[in-house]
A and B are shown apart, each in its own frame.
Chain A
Amino acid sequence: MSAVTARRTPSAAAPGARGDGVLPWLATPALLVFAAFAVLPLIGVLLLSFTSWDTLGEIRLTGLESWRSVLTDPGLPHALWVTFLIMLLSWAVQTPASILIGVFLAGRQRYRELLAVLYFIPLLLSSAAIAITFKALLDPNFGLGAGLQLDFLNQDWLGEPGLAFGVVIFVVSWQYIPFHSLLYQGGVRQIPRSLYEAAELDGAGRVRMFFSITLPQLKYTIITSSTLMVVGSLTFFDLIFVLTEGGPGDATRALALDMYKRGFQANLMGAACAIGVILVLVGLALALLLRRLGGRDPQASQLEGA
C-alpha cells in the first residue's frame, strides 16, 4: 500500500510514468513468440479460408466459396453439437470428481500422498497411447470382457453411437481428472485453517464445512479449471481420432476432427481453415464468457488480510 501512495504523490500529472517505461520491454519476448506462433499462423488460416487449395496445386482465391460450403454443410451444426456435448458432459463429469479428489488429497496424511502420486499417472501418458490402450481393452472379441469372461463388458463399445460417445467422455475424464484434482488440491490448501477452526467452534459438521467454506473459497479455482476444461475440450483431437476416428458414422466427429478430415484427408484446405476460424471464435467467446461469469476482478483474493 505504501509503495503505491509514495509513487502517486510526486508524479500526479503523469501517473505511473516511471514503472511503465520498463514493463513493455519485459513483455516483448513473450509477445514475439506469441506473434510468430499464434498470430501469424492465425492470419494465414484466415487468409486461406478465402481460397481453395488442395495442398498440391496453386492456391486460388475464391472469396466466400469455402465459407459457403462449410456453413451450408449439415455436418457443421452436427460437429458443433458434438463438440458442445463433449464439452458439457466432460465438464459435468470431471468437475465434481476433481473437486472431491482434490479435497481428499489436500489432507496431509502419508497414504494420501501415495494415492496422489498414483492418481497422477494418467497425466503422464500421451493421449494416443491412452486411446490405443483403451481401444485394445474395449475390443469386443479380444478385449477386457472376453479376457475376464464378463459378459456385460462385451459391448460394441466403439460401434454404437451412444456407447462410443460415453467411452470418449469416460476416457477424456480418466485422462484429465488428475490434472484438475491437482488444481483443486492446491486451492484447498490455500484456504486458511482459521475458517475451519471458527466453523468447528460454531459446531459445523464436515459436510456443512465443505459446502459453506471449501466450495465458496474454491470459486476461482473452479473458474480456472472450468475454463481450461471448456476451452481445452474444443481441441480434443488426438484421443478421439485414435479411439473412434470420429465414428461410428459421425457420432463423435467434433469440430477439430472435422477440420482435420476436411483439410488433410479430403484435401479441402480452404474449408478446413474456415472451420479453424470458427473454432478460434468459439474458443474466444467461451473464455470471455467464463471470465465474465467469474466476476469483474478475477485477480481479487478472498483470503483474509490480503
Chain B
Amino acid sequence: MDSGTGVPIHVAPAASEYYNRAAASLGVRRTEISVESRTPSRRTFLTLSMGLPLGAALAACGTSGPAPSGGGAGGGATGGNGGGGAKATYWFLSGPPGEPVRTSAVERFNKANPNGQIEFTAIQNDAYKTKIKTAIGANQAPTIIWGWGGGGLRSYVQAGQVEDLTSWFDQNPAVKDRLFPSSFGAATIDGKIYAMPCETVQPIILFYNKKVFEKVGVQPPQTYGDILDLVKKFNAAGIAPFSLAGQSRWTNMMWLEFLFDRIGGPEVFQAVFDGEKDAWNHPAAIEALTKMQELIKANAFIKGFSSITADSNADQALLYTGKAAMMLHGSWSYGIQQAQGGDFVPSGGLGWINFPPVDGGKGDPSNTVGNPGQYLSISSKATPEQKEIAKKFFANGVLDEEEQKQWVDTGGVPIVKGADKLFAGSKDAEFLNFVYSVASNAKVFAQSWDQALSPTAAEVLLDNIAKLFQLSISPQQFATNMNAVIGK
C-alpha cells in the first residue's frame, strides 16, 4: 500500500520507467509512441484523456511499446562512458507538433558533428514529468534536460543537479543576444542562468468568435469595463460570454494572472515569487480576487464550466461552435481550433486581442503572461565531454534557421529576434505576427504562476483557485491560505 500501488493509471509510466533504465544501461535506443495532440507545454494531468476511452488504451500501449528511434547511428552506449566518441543524451517531449521538429534538429546536429553525437529519447508529456524527476533524483538524468524553467528548474538548482550557464553565456554573447530577452527570466534563478531558452513563445491570448460578435452586433472589448458590458449583452442573447475549462484549474489561473497584472502590475505576483511575507494580502490582489468572483457571479462563464476539462479541448469547441463568444487561452489553442474547428479559422471566424486594461489599474496593457519559452539545462552529473557536446548543440543546433522554419509551419513563434521575417507567405501570418508583436513588445512577459512557483506551492495555488471559482472561499480566505505556503 505504498504510494505507488494505489495508482493504477500511472502503472504504465512507472513500468516504462524501469524498462527505460534497463534499456539505457543496455544501450538500447527507444522512442515512445504518443497519442497526444495538444501542444505539450502545459502542466496538466491526464493528457491521455482525449475524450476517448481508446486514448487511455493507446497511451498505455505507447509507454510499453519501445521502438528504435530514427536518428543517427544506433546501439552506442549511453551516458557516463566518456572516452572516444562520447555521446550526450537528450530527453524531450513526444507528440505533434513538436516532436518532429526536435528530432530533426538533433539529426541535423549529429550529421554536422560526427564526433559528438546526441542520442535522444522522446517521452509522452505526463510520463515525462514524473520520469525526469525520478531520473534526476537517482542521478540518472540525461545530459540535456528539457523543461519549463521557473519553479521546476529552481528545484533542480537547489538539489545541485544542473549546470550554471552564466559564464558560458557571457563568453558567447551571440547565443544570448539573438533570443528574446524575456525568455531568460524563467531560466534565471537567483541571478544566475541555468538553462538555455528554446523553441517557441506562447502568450495567453483573449480569443473571440467574430461571427458571434457580428450576430449580437458588438465590438471586441477595449477595457475591462467593456468585458462587463459584453457579459450582459451575450447573456441576454443566450450565448455564454466566456468559455472556460474550469476543471483543469490552470485555465482559471490565467484569468487571475491577467487581473493581478492589469490591476496591480507585475510587482504583486513578483512579491509572492520572491517569498515576501503575506504578499497575497496586497490590496490589488484582494481587488483582483474580488473582481474575479464578481465576474463568476455575473455568469460570465458558461454554465457548468467546472465540469469541463481542457484536455478534451471541449472549451475550444464551445468557442468555435459559437456556444461561447470569448475564451482566454494559450496561443497554442490557435492550432487546435484550426485542426478541429472545420472552416472556422480559415474563414476568418477567429479573432484575437491581448487582455484589455482594467480602468484605473497600474499594469501596462502590453504586459502578458504565458510560456516565455521552453528550456534546456545541462545535468551536472554528465561527463565533461557530454557537457561540451551539449554546449555545442546550444550554440549551433538549437533554433537554427531550419528549426525556426519548422516551428513557424506548426503555427508557433520561435523565440528568436527577427523570426517574423519567416512568417511571410504562411497562411497563419496574421496570427503569427500578432503573437510575435505581443511577445516582443511586452514590457513584462510573466511566466505562468504554476510553472513559476515550486511544485508544492503550485498545487496549493491550483487547489485554492478551484475553490475560489466555486465561490466556496472568499478572496481573503484565498489570500490567507496562499500566504501560508509563500516561500515553500
* Partner among B5, B136, B247 whose Cβ is within 8 Å of the Cβ of A247: B247
Q: A132-B49, A132-B55 are in contact. Are A237 and B3 (CB under 8 A)?
A: no
Check A139–B49 contact: CB distance below 8 A.
Answer: no
Chain A contacts with B in 250-278, Cβ cutoff 8 A? 250, 256, 259-269, 272-273, 276
In the bound assembly, the distance between CA atoms of A256 and B305 in angstroms comes to 26
Q: How would you classify the secondary structure of chain B's contact residues: helix, strand, loop or mixed?
A: helix
Chain B residues touching A, range: 35 or more
- Is A235 interfacial (CB-CB < 8 Å)? yes
Q: What sequence of 0s and 1s flags, for each residue 227-252 of chain A, a beta carbon within 8 Å of any chain B beta carbon?
A: 00000000101100110110111100
- Smallest CB-CB separation from B240: which chain A residue? A141
Are A135 and B459 in contact (CB-based, < 8 A)? Answer: no
Mask of B95-112 contacts with A, CB within 8 angstroms, 1/0: 000000000000000000
20 new A-B pairs (CB below 8 Å) besides A156-B307, A250-B467? A41-B2, A41-B5, A45-B1, A54-B155, A56-B158, A56-B159, A56-B161, A57-B159, A127-B8, A141-B308, A159-B246, A241-B9, A241-B46, A242-B49, A247-B247, A249-B472, A259-B3, A264-B130, A265-B459, A276-B1
CA distance A287 to B457 in the complex (A): 36
- In the bound complex, residues from chain A placing their C-beta under 8 Å from that of B470 are 161, 248-249
**Cβ–Cβ contact A42 & B312, under 8 A:** no
Assembled-state Cα–Cα distance A32/B345 (Å): 61
- 12 CB-based A-B contacts, threshold 8 Å: A41-B2, A42-B1, A45-B2, A54-B456, A126-B56, A133-B53, A135-B312, A139-B314, A157-B307, A242-B9, A264-B3, A268-B456
Chain B contacts with A in 118-140, Cβ cutoff 8 A: 130, 133-134, 136-137
Complex Cα distance, B317 from A276, in Å, reads 40
- A118-146: CB near B (< 8 Å → 1, else 0) gives 00000001111110110110111110000
List, in ascending order, chain A residues with CB within 8 A of B46's CB.
241-242
Give the residues in chain B near A263, CB-CB below 8 Å: 3
Asked if B57 is an interface residue, CB under 8 A from chain A, the answer is: yes
Cβ–Cβ contact B52 & A132, under 8 A: yes
B364 to chain A, nearest CB (A): 33
Q: Could you list which residues of chain B lie within 8 angstroms of chain A, going by C-beta atoms?
A: 1-10, 45-46, 48-49, 51-53, 55-57, 130, 133-134, 136-137, 155-156, 158-159, 161, 246-247, 249, 302-309, 312, 314, 317-318, 323, 454-456, 458-460, 463, 466-467, 470, 472
Task: Flag whether A55 is at the interface (Cβ < 8 A).
Answer: yes
Pairwise interchain contact B53-A129, C-beta atoms closer than 8 A: yes
A158 touches B306 (CB 8 A): yes
**Cβ-based interface call for A280 (8 A):** yes
How close is B149's CB to chain A, nearest CB, in angstroms?
15
Which residue of A38, A248, A266, A280 contacts B459 across the interface (Cβ within 8 Å)?
A266
Tell me the minimal C-beta distance from B63 to chain A in angstroms.
13
Contact of B307 among A132, A159, A249, A266 (CB under 8 A): A159
Given A55-B137, A138-B307, A249-B466, check contact A244 B6 (CB 8 Å).
no
With A248-B306, A266-B460 known to touch, is A57 a contact of B158 (CB < 8 Å)? yes
Partner of A273 from the list B2, B10, B55, B304 (CB cut-off 8 Å) is B2
Nearest-neighbour CB distance to chain A for B287, whole angstroms, equals: 23
Residue pair A136, B51 in contact (C-beta under 8 Å): yes
A132 touches B304 (CB 8 A): no
Cα distance A139–B309 when bound, in Å? 9
For A131, give the chain B residue with the smallest CB separation: B49
Among B161, B302, B303, B466, contact of A248 (Cβ-Cβ < 8 Å): B466
A274 CB to nearest B CB, Å:
11
Give the chain A neighbours of B159 by CB distance below 8 A: 54, 56-58
Minimal Cβ-Cβ distance residue in B for A146: B323
In the complex, which residues of chain B have a beta carbon less than 8 angstroms from the beta carbon of A156? 303-304, 306-307
> A158 CA to B466 CA in the complex, in Å?
13
Nearest 9 CB-CB pairings of A with B: A159-B306, A140-B304, A129-B53, A266-B459, A156-B304, A158-B307, A57-B159, A41-B2, A45-B2
User: Which chain A positions have C-beta within 8 A of B307?
Assistant: 138-140, 156-159
Question: Which residues, 135 to 194 on A, are CB-close (under 8 Å) to B?
Answer: 135-136, 138-142, 154-161
> Which chain B residues border A19 with CB–CB below 8 Å?
none
Contact B312 A136 (CB under 8 A): yes
State whether the Cβ of A44 lies closer than 8 Å to any Cβ in chain B.
Answer: yes
